[in-house]
Amino acid sequence: MFHKEGYKIILIASIILLIAVITIDKFIEIEWIRLSTSTIFLILFVLVLQFFRNPKRNTSLNEHHIIAPVDGKVVVIEEVFEPEFFKDKRLQLSIFMSPLNVHVTRYPISGNIIFSKYHPGKYLVAWHPKSSTENERTTVVVENKTVGKILYRQIAGAAARRIVNYAKKGGVVEQGSDAGFIKFGSRVDVFLPLNTKIDVVLNQKVRGGEQIIANI
């Protein structure tokens, strides 16, 4: 199953692969060169397919739990000042996605979307400390009565050039449902209340839409 944001790219990649195979078969006579070149195009096509995969995730809905919004590795757990929406101290938990991870973004909690904003910006590597405030990004805040307000931020990396954000202010969303997509390497920051109990550790790999990263 592939994410809808990849349909156009997959179609283009399929056409390129078909043209490449036909061209290679017609113009390259040396067998090992023909086979090697075809294999390279096939590998590139498979990489495109795996990047846009959208596996089904079984979310156990729970108002006390915050679940991982994306697949990846936990690279930051620290108390910081959040300057855009809260303008006070929060616990920041950041998850880095390599190009091999599933890049679907999922809502960490159920609730009402009270803030959603896109910011154009730079394309620093996603693990750079300033990427959270200087890179292309979107900021979304979801609120419910149990957890309160949770902010998550999709951040484009050095290779990413487009963030897709489905969150619209005033919308009501369900935990674990599709919130968007980031094309190619990236990261997501989650900002939590200071009294939140963190259930993951640095460098731990997490599974978006299923794994509990914190609870209130």
Q: Which residues pair with 81 in a beta bridge?
A: 89
Residues with catalytic function: 186
Structure tokens that stand for 34 in this block: 């023909």
SS3 state at 94? strand
Structure tokens that stand for 159 in this block: 């290779």
User: According to the 3-state scheme, what is the secondary structure of 159-171?
Assistant: CCCCEEECCCCCC
H helices present in 107-169, as ranges: 131-134
d(CA 177, CA 87): 28
List Cα–Cα distances, 184 to 24, 33, 68, 110, 124, in angstroms. Answer: 28, 30, 18, 26, 13
Place of tokens 């590998």: 43
SS3 state at 21? helix
| 70: nearest Cα among 184, 180, 207, 182 | 207
